[in-house]
């Protein structure tokens, strides 16, 4: 019996030590920030507005479909983060991933095929540049088009951070990739607990 107990403790220690070791490069906003009104369309052509953030957790990543390295890497990384988070929170608290496509001209025709390869539940949204810009700025983000090397060959520089949107539609944190999936899942689960606690206190 003692032997089992010791093995159990060793396993628990290893797991907690590993999680403690891995750092999450995240910043929680001291005051959650509200988002401006915007009107985008998702990969299926359905409207995606600020109201779509209400009622569930969302992780927003800015990117563009022709980005060969960082964007697909971060989306795969997010897939791993979501898988780990789903082991730690209730199914309805598993965050949805929103890929905010900041190169509408090239992204719009291909983003459906693009986003599907990462996860069937991931959402991609884009729209008129003014609307994309509204959400980018609302997320305190940045997008810049770099001089064209040729027609349809150009780079789009964009904010790297992932925005965490709470079910009340406000930004509560930013996380910088790359993310260690397990530690990030712990970070998100703890943030959700805190959010629920704060809401409970406010409603009392």
Region binding another protein by CB under 8 A among candidate stretches 3-11, 12-20, 123-131, 153-161:
153-161
Binding flag, residue 142, another protein (CB under 8 A)? yes
From the CB of 175, what's the least distance to another protein, in Å? 12
Q: Which of residues 175-194 bind another protein (CB under 8 A)?
A: 176-181
Binding flag, residue 133, another protein (CB under 8 A)? no
Binding flag, residue 29, another protein (CB under 8 A)? no
How many C-beta atoms lie closer than 10 Å to residue 26's C-beta? 18
Residues in the chain: 204
Contact with another protein (CB under 8 A): which of 76, 105, 168, 197?
A: 76
Binding flag, residue 110, another protein (CB under 8 A)? yes
Strands of the sheet containing 123-126, edge to edge, are 26-34, 170-175, 162-165, 58-63, 96-101, 123-126, 39-42, 47-49
Asked whether the beta carbons of 91 and 103 are under 8 A apart, the reply is no
Contact with another protein (CB under 8 A): which of 13, 18, 34, 117?
A: 117
Q: Which residues contact 103 (CB under 8 A, 6 or more apart)?
A: 64, 65, 66, 126, 145, 156
Region binding another protein by CB under 8 A among candidate stretches 13-21, 35-43, 90-98, 155-163:
155-163
Contact with another protein (CB under 8 A): which of 80, 86, 137, 189?
A: 80
Binding flag, residue 72, another protein (CB under 8 A)? yes
CA distance 33 to 40: 20
Asked whether the beta carbons of 134 and 36 are under 8 A apart, the reply is yes
CA distance 111 to 101: 8
Residues that bind another protein (CB under 8 A): 65-70, 72-74, 76-80, 109-110, 113-114, 116-117, 142, 144, 153, 155, 157-161, 176-181
């Amino acid at each position: 019996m003692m032997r089992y107990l010791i093995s159990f403790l060793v396993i628990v220690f290893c797991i907690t030590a590993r999680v403690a070791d891995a750092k999450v490069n995240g910043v929680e906003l001291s005051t959650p920030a509200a988002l401006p009104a915007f009107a985008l369309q998702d990969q299926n052509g359905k409207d995606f507005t600020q109201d779509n953030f209400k009622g569930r957790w969302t992780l927003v990543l800015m990117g563009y479909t022709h980005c060969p390295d960082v964007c697909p890497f971060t989306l795969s990384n997010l897939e791993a983060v979501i898988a780990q988070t789903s082991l730690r929170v209730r199914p309805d608290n598993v965050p949805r991933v929103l890929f905010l496509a900041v190169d509408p001209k090239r992204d719009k025709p291909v983003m459906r095929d693009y986003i599907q390869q990462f996860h069937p539940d991931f959402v991609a949204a884009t729209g008129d540049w003014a609307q994309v810009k509204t959400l980018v700025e609302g997320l305190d983000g940045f997008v810049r088009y770099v001089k064209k090397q040729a027609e349809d060959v150009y780079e789009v520089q964009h904010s790297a951070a992932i925005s965490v949107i709470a079910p009340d539609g406000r930004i509560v944190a930013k996380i910088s990739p790359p993310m260690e999936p397990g530690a990030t899942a712990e970070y998100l689960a703890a943030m959700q607990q805190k959010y629920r606690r704060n809401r409970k206190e406010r409603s009392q």
